[in-house]
Amino acid sequence: MVAPPQEAFLRIAHDVILRLGTILDLPRLIAAIVQETRGLTNCERVEVLLVNEEEGILSLSRSEGVSLYAEYPAVTAWKAGNLYTATTGEYFILAKTDAFVGLPLHSESKFIGVLLLENPGSLQPVPAETQALLNAIAPGLAILLRNARQHSETVKSLDTRMFELSIFNQIDRELSDTIDLPQVFDMTLDWAMRYTNANAGSLSLYNQNDDELKFVVDLGYESTPEDMAMLRSVSSGGIAHRVALSAFAELVPDVMTDKDYLELSNSIRSHMSVPVTREDRVIAVISIESRQINAFTEDHINFVEKLAARAGVAIDNARLFTETVREREKLSHILAEVADGVIVVSEDERIILINQAAIAAFRLSPEPDYEGRFLSEVVDDHDFVEVLRATTGLKNKALVEIVLPNGNTYYVDFSPRPDIGWIIVMNDITPLRKTDQLKRDLVATVSHDLKQPLSVMNGYLDLIQMSQKLDTRGEGYVRMIVRSIHNMRQLIDDLLDLAKIDAGVEINMQPVPIASLITDCLEGTKRLADAKAMRVEVDVAPDLPYVSGDPNRLLQVFNNLVSNAIKYTPPEGTIHISAESLKNAVRIKVKDSGVGISPEDQARIFDRFYRVRRPENESIEGTGLGLTIVQKLVEAHHGQIGLESFLGEGSTFYVTLPRHEDN
């Protein structure tokens, strides 16, 4: 049993502990304990043996130690908390003599080490008094050692953590900067090998759908290029494949014992494979190998797993980027082929995209890269930029006809696109404009050439009638010819009118008083109305505002409507013409008490050449072009035309025309 320490020894112990208490660094503390103890005891050799729990030894240093489970009487005594004095002839590996004394150090009832004393020079035993002194200082030393040990462990784990953090910091930076897929592979493998001190390694991509594993990069193998090429083509088997299937990292301390091991180099002894996953799918496997047996640790797995998580994100990003680039290239190929000019500009008017057709339209050099430059700097067309600014100011879609620097006429569509800016599509309408001109020329020529022979025929008919006395039958024939010529002239006029309107009517806008227009119309149709004994009523408000329009064209509109009313109303019917003022327009109504139009026919009477086929209309002549012309003319005046009609109850056609603005 241990004797209770004397008071003097307790005081000495107290002083020693105070002196050493400030040392937190373990090696320094051990050195100081050794020095103090030697000073106090005059022993030649003092050592601190520490318990290494992980390895289960009591050691002087990491490499030299005695198993805690070995049957040494000294170790047994120490574990029980007893001071041990060696007996003569006893061998203990950590001692130099068989006259050593070992004082166990216990902290919180845990065996943490031994203070070993002996005199290898003089071979003198350690005096009993010294042993009593040692008993007094042992508890204090144990506390100091435990604290220093905890401190150094904390520092060590902090150091490891800091080291790891700084490495991952660097890895994160490098990986997130990389959008090049092969580079991501290279970097990942390189980091994994460096951290684990591996001799060789590979990274393979895994396709879960086809269960196919493909090498994409390998480092450190000494095989011939041919052999490597062959091995790279292997798409299944091996430890990596096993890991791809299980999605769990594996350590193989000795590859000779693993039936799945695929030999890439005969000097390899240990292997480690870690899966790279994205959204629960294995997308790649990192494999590293060493020429040493059992070279990899749990710590290595932890590191490579963290690395794999980052690599997964980087691989995804790089793939996405490659895909985006590919999509972009596809788009620009398509746009290059498109005949329309396309420009995309950001909200601050920088060019995001401009295609070949647009470059040609602005007569720009095809070489330079225009992306990122201001549109106003690139296109030297003040009008174009002005229009863009006007429309961007409105934040609305706009369609504008502009002549661009290449001399062609374009319909330019400016469309706002949220989060992008503006998409400008330019459609070259020069050919259309040329066709319009051709049409106009044709109309003018044909008009003249067709009407000419009709005038000649008319002239000769007059001559026949004047030069010869015709019998009743002859006069009948002549009347028929005259009427046919009249109809034909009417048809030609209508056709020409329509052609003109189709080619773009030029409306000569001016203020038109509706009242006098109606008077003119009724004067022109009076003969027709009188022939059928029609009642014609007019109801026009006296203070009617002027409408905006071309008086000749508007007269044509009302002539058509009134003559239809007369034509399609039986004799002695009523025609009522009225005009009223609306807010910004004037509405004119032409109402008759005629045959009326069925709903099906109402939908078609504005079509070219459409005529209603009914017995009561049979004898009425016409071409079916009148209402077509009326509708087009009204639209050209920015007006509207409509009707209300019931079979047998007459029809009402109404026309709404915009008021002249100066009213």
Q: How many CB atoms lie within 10 A of CB 629?
A: 23
The one segment of 45-53, 196-204, 381-389, 562-570 that binds ligand ATP by CB under 6 A: 562-570
Is 341 an interacting residue with respect to Mg ion (CB under 5 A)?
no
- Give 445 or 617: the residue with its C-beta nearer to ligand ATP: 617
Each residue 105-134 as x (binds Mg ion by CB under 5 A) or -, in order, gives ------------------------------
- Give 199 or 564: the residue with its C-beta nearer to Mg ion: 564
The one segment of 69-77, 315-323, 477-485, 620-628 that binds ligand ATP by CB under 6 A: 620-628
Is 626 an interacting residue with respect to Mg ion (CB under 5 A)?
yes
The distance of closest approach from Cβ of residue 568 to ligand ATP in the complex, given in angstroms and rounded to an integer, is: 3
DSSP string over 169-208: HHHHHHHHH---HHHHHHHHHHHHHHHHT-SEEEEEEEET
Q: Is 528 helix (H, G, I), strand (E, B) or coil?
A: helix
- Strand partners of residue 485: none
Q: Which entry of Mg ion, ligand ATP, none binds 428, CB below 5 to 8 A by partner kind? A: none
CA-to-CA distance for 620 and 614, rounded, in angstroms?
10
Among candidate residues 400, 395, 363, 359, the one with its CA nearest the CA of residue 383: 400
The distance of closest approach from Cβ of residue 624 to ligand ATP in the complex, given in angstroms and rounded to an integer, is: 4
Is 597 an interacting residue with respect to ligand ATP (CB under 6 A)?
yes
> Using CB atoms, what's the residue nearest to Mg ion?
626
Q: Tell me which residues in 439-498 interact with ligand ATP (CB under 6 A).
A: 494
Is 595 an interacting residue with respect to ligand ATP (CB under 6 A)?
yes
CA-to-CA distance for 352 and 344, rounded, in angstroms?
5
DSSP string over 62-75: SSSEEETTS--HHH
Helix axes 26-41, 128-177, angle to 10 degrees: 170
- Strand partners of residue 577: 538, 590
The residue within the footprint of ligand ATP, chosen from 626, 632, 634, 656 (CB under 6 A), is: 626
Q: What is the DSSP-derived secondary structure letter of residue 116? A: E
The distance of closest approach from Cβ of residue 560 to Mg ion in the complex, given in angstroms and rounded to an integer, is: 6
The one segment of 103-111, 310-318, 345-353, 603-611 that binds ligand ATP by CB under 6 A: 603-611
The residue within the footprint of ligand ATP, chosen from 297, 435, 617, 663 (CB under 6 A), is: 617
Is 628 an interacting residue with respect to Mg ion (CB under 5 A)?
no
Is 568 an interacting residue with respect to ligand ATP (CB under 6 A)?
yes
Tell me phi and psi for residue 421, to 5 degrees. 145, -110
Q: Which strands, in side-by-side order, build the sheet including 341-346?
A: 351-354, 341-346, 421-428, 409-417, 398-403
Q: Which amino acid is at 203?
A: L
- Strand partners of residue 273: 250, 287
The residue within the footprint of ligand ATP, chosen from 564, 575, 639, 654 (CB under 6 A), is: 564
CA-to-CA distance for 129 and 420, rounded, in angstroms?
91
Q: Is 142 helix (H, G, I), strand (E, B) or coil?
A: helix
CA-to-CA distance for 368 and 354, rounded, in angstroms?
11
Please report, for residues 23, 47, 73, 475, the alpha-carbon distance to residue 95 in angstroms, rounded to integers and kept in the order given.
Answer: 27, 9, 14, 157
Each residue 584-623 as x (binds Mg ion by CB under 5 A) or -, in order, gives ----------------------------------------
Is 592 an interacting residue with respect to ligand ATP (CB under 6 A)?
yes
CA-to-CA distance for 241 and 211, rounded, in angstroms?
9
Please report, for residues 9, 40, 134, 212, the alpha-carbon distance to residue 14 in angstroms, rounded to integers and kept in the order given.
Answer: 8, 13, 12, 71
The one segment of 58-66, 248-256, 263-271, 616-624 that binds ligand ATP by CB under 6 A: 616-624
- Give 186 or 601: the residue with its C-beta nearer to ligand ATP: 601
Please report, for residues 349, 422, 460, 467, 552, the alpha-carbon distance to residue 378 in angstroms, rounded to integers and kept in the order given.
Answer: 11, 16, 69, 79, 48
Each residue 506-545 as x (binds Mg ion by CB under 5 A) or -, in order, gives ----------------------------------------
Q: Which entry of ligand ATP, Mg ion, none binds 651, CB below 5 to 8 A by partner kind? A: ligand ATP
> Using CB atoms, what's the residue nearest to ligand ATP?
626
Q: Tell me which residues in 560-579 interact with Mg ion (CB under 5 A).
A: 564
The tokens for 499 are 């052609």
Is 650 an interacting residue with respect to Mg ion (CB under 5 A)?
no
Q: Which entry of Mg ion, ligand ATP, none binds 285, CB below 5 to 8 A by partner kind? A: none
The distance of closest approach from Cβ of residue 586 to Mg ion in the complex, given in angstroms and rounded to an integer, is: 23
Which residues would be at the binding site for ligand ATP (CB under 6 A)? 494, 560, 564-565, 568, 592, 594-595, 597, 605, 610-612, 617, 622-628, 651
